[in-house]
Structure 1
Amino acid sequence: MGALPGLVALGALLAVLGPRLLARARWATREPVVALWAWQCVVVGVLLCCACALVLTGAAAWPAVRGLVFTGAPAGVEAAYGFPLARPWAVAAAFVFLVGGLRTAMAVAYEVAGAHAVRRRKRHQLSRQAPDLHPELRASSERSDRSEQLVVVERAEPQAWSLPGPVPRLVVTTGALQRLSSRELDALLAHERGHVRARHHWLLSAAEALLSGFPGVKLFAHFRDQVGRLVELAADDSAARRHGRLATAIALVELNPDSACPHPLAQIPARVDRLLGGVPRLRAPHRLALTVAALTLPLAPLVLSFAPGLTALR
């Protein structure tokens, strides 16, 4: 059964070499959106290797599973996979992959439920700090724009954040309003809109879930750290394209100059230097080539899994 060793080898190769190559890639800082896509493709590729290996080991371990997997398959396809008659190793391997799959599902479910509870608690807290408008005024406001809601909170500290939901909320404090000019405030809000529109909270939750489920896997630790860094850079670029690099950089400095960010390269000084440096983006063909190359990573496990069956059909 050549497909299974190939899947295991490919998964190990992606898990080891993928983070090293992406962490050293100089283009990642220039193209954070493409880098985020590449990181996701590496992680999805590893997860698909494990999922496909689970299906194949399950088919090798139990005839019932094998019959289900190859239901309706042409003659010779099942034989092409070379399932052995002795199955103890297959049962053990299937059990290992099954435990990993259940652990991943539980970690994701726990993280999603936790993130939802946190957002709900923040919405309730925000409602107490900044009560909703009168129903008639709220209705007219909703008719004008239901895509988001801007909330101002009375607080001396200059802060701003976004709260995802059916109607996302962009929250700014009175301290931020006092320190920022109109253009800088627009850049700050564009930064938060960039997070909301790109669904960065989903990506961050997935990264946290994988790391909490498998704390010893370095791939997921690198993924969490790089996602935390790249989403900030991507949001900075989104704001800079609309309101200029200078306004975005000043807004970052004025807002949280002493922010204790867990991702060193996403700290305020490094982000300001990047914005003021004005490094040009990669050319469109280069971005397209990187995107297509990253897409091949999650497709490779599928090709390996179906290769024996497709070969038998020739």
Structure 2
Amino acid sequence: MVVAVLLALYCVFAALALPRLLGRAAWADRAPRLAIVLWQAASASAVVSALLAVFAVVVPASLVGHGLAGLFDACMALVEVCAELLNDPSAPNAAAAGAGLAAGGLVLARLAYAGGAVLLGARRERRRHAGALALLGRHDDGLGATVVDYEERIAYCVPGRRGQAVITTGALRSLAPPQVAAVLAHERAHLRGRHHLVLAAAESLTRAFPRVPLFERARTEIGRLVELLADDMAARHHPRDQLAAALVRLATGRAPAFALGAGGETALERVRRMLHPQPPLERRERVTGLLAVASLLAGPAALAAAPAVSAFLAHHCHALLTL
């Protein structure tokens, strides 16, 4: 029960305090990929700690410890013990087990429902938009993108199995050829990196558990960081000043809600970043970030496993001593 309480307290700490702690990371703009992984790890640790807290309440540590010697036997024993606890009202942990199983099932069901709603909704919108592009747009082999006759300056990508970069004639008239190439490289970076799935995961957590500070901040930060990451990938093959100039001209363009656009609210911030690049993280800083990710992912699991490992060692050490 102590482990369950500690995991629950960590879940609350992660939900409320981690957004402030991670938000202070001044290095995030220098390593957007690592920062994205860190926000994902923080969100995952909060959810996993909640589920493991339920597990710690429902399943005795001794049961898991003995079951480490045989995974199949442990799974079968887990099912039997849960059934016995739920069917025996006189058992001391019956109420806690029932409430724990219900809470864990609710968390998983909520996540599955929200994730399905986000993915299916976005897929439906992408299909509808792709149909409109097939009628109104034309594919330009030279650009490797779909061109739409529209006065507003917009460049974006429609992700999916047949992802495509899209640019309007207004943007083509406004941008020089090197700028067009840089912007389209930015959009292709989104497609190659499957950034829409990263954003969908963050959106799913926010929709499943609204008003949780960690998930709200993670969604905002990840949305900003994927744009920085796409900028960096485009800047590997195109001049940074050309990409910055293109972002200035596309800053007021509004891409469809389900798409990833080169313009938008973060464009001017990204222009400054392109024109005044900061040095990449040093090896020590990068190792520190990776260790933080590992701690967030492994910490709750290690805490939950500690009693089971102790029971396992106590049982088998005792068995060896009696030989």
User: Shorter-chain TM-score: which interval?
Assistant: 0.7 to 0.9
Deviates more, 1:1-10 or 1:20-29: 1-10
- Following TM superposition, by how much is the alpha carbon of 1:47 offset from its aligned partner in structure 2, in angstroms? 1.3
Structure 1 residues 149, 85: CA separation in 2 closer, same or farther (over 3 Å shift)? farther
Structure 1 residue identity aligned to 2:225:
L
- CA displacement, residues 144-192 of structure 1 (integer Å, 9 cap, x when unaligned): x9xx952111122221111112232011111222221221111101111
The CA deviation string for residues 267-296 of structure 1, in whole angstroms up to 9 with x for no partner, is: 222221121122111123422331232122
Alpha-carbon offset, residue 246 of structure 1: 0.6
Distance 1:54 1:310 in 2: 18
Q: Tell me the residue number matched to 2:49.
A: 49
Q: CA 1:29/1:261 → structure 2, altered by over 3 Å: closer, same or farther?
A: farther
* CA distance in structure 1 between the partners assigned to 2:175 and 2:216 by the alignment: 36
Paired letter, 1:150:
A
Q: CA offset at residue 26 of structure 1?
A: 0.7
| 1:166 to 2:165 alignment | no
Residue identity opposite 2:17 in structure 1: L
TM-score by length of 1: 0.82
In the alignment, the residues of structure 2 paired with residue 286 and residue 86 of structure 1 have an alpha-carbon distance, to the nearest angstrom, of 46
Q: Which amino acid aligns with 2:310?
A: T
One-letter code aligned to 2:287: L
Counterpart residue identity of residue 155, structure 1 = Y
2:99 counterpart (70, 92, 97): 92
Match status 1:103 vs 2:113: no
SS in 1 for 2:237: helix
1:8 pairs with 2:8: yes
Paired residue for 2:123, among 116, 121, 127?
Answer: 116
Partner of residue 240, structure 1:
235
How far has the Cα of 1:236 moved from its partner? 1.5
Distance 1:261 1:120 in 2: 13
2: CA distance between counterparts of 1:157 and 1:194? Answer: 23
Measure the CA separation in 2 of the matches of 1:297 and 1:246: 37
8 Å contact from structure 1 (residues 176, 255) kept in 2: yes
Counterpart in the other structure of 2:73: 72
Matching residue of 2:200: 205
Aligned residues: 289
Segment drifting more, 294-303 vs 149-158: 149-158
**Percentage identity across aligned positions?**
35
Give 2:296's aligned residue: 297
Label 1:59 to 1:309 Cα distance change in 2 as closer, same or farther (>3 A): closer
Match for residue 311 of structure 1?
Answer: 310
Q: Which amino acid aligns with 1:52?
A: L
Contact 1:259 1:267 in 2 (8 A): no
Aligned to 1:268: 267
Give yes or no for contact 1:259–1:268 (8 Å, CA) kept in 2: no
Q: 1:164 to 1:91 in 2, by over 3 A?
A: same
- Conserved in 1, the CA contact under 8 Å of 2:247 and 2:267? yes
For residue 161 of structure 1, give the secondary structure of its aligned residue in structure 2: strand
Q: Is the 8 A contact 1:150 1:171 kept in 2?
A: yes
Cα separation, 1, equivalents of 2:172 and 2:39: 36
Local SS of the residue matching 1:152: strand
Which sits farther off after the overlay, 284-293 or 298-307?
A: 284-293
SS of equivalent to 1:313:
helix
Cα drift, residue 71 of structure 1 = 5.1
**8 Å Cα contact 1:108-1:209 kept in structure 2:** yes
Gaps of 5+ in 1: 78-82, 134-140
Question: For residues 195 and 7 of structure 1, what CA distance do their matches in structure 2 show?
Answer: 36
State whether structure 2 residue 174 is matched by structure 1 residue 179.
yes
Q: Distance in 2 between matches of 1:258 and 1:192?
A: 14
- For 1:239 and 1:132, how far apart are their aligned partners in 2? 21
1:128-139 alignment to 2 at 5 Å?
128-130=135-137
The residue type paired with residue 154 of structure 2 is Q
Separation in structure 1 between the aligned mates of residue 31 and residue 145 of structure 2, nearest angstrom: 29
Measure how far apart 1:6 and its partner are. Answer: 2.3
What stretches of structure 2 of length at least 5 have no aligned partner? 79-84, 86-90, 258-263, 314-323
Specify the alignment match of 1:31 in structure 2.
31
Amino acid at match of 1:214: F
Asked if 2 retains the 8 angstrom alpha-carbon contact of 1:10 and 1:49, the reply is yes
- 1:233·1:266 contact (CA, 8 Å) conserved in 2? no
CA shift for structure 1 position 221: 0.9
CA contact (8 A) 1:22 1:28 kept: no
Whether 2:20 is the aligned partner of 1:20: answer yes
Query: How big is each residue's C-alpha offset from its partner over 1:2-32, in whole Å with a ceiling of 9 and x where there is no partner?
Result: 3212221222222222211111111112221
Partners in 2 of 1:172 and 1:14 — Cα distance?
Answer: 41
Cα deviation for residue 241 of structure 1 reads: 2.4
What is the match of residue 138 of structure 1? Answer: none
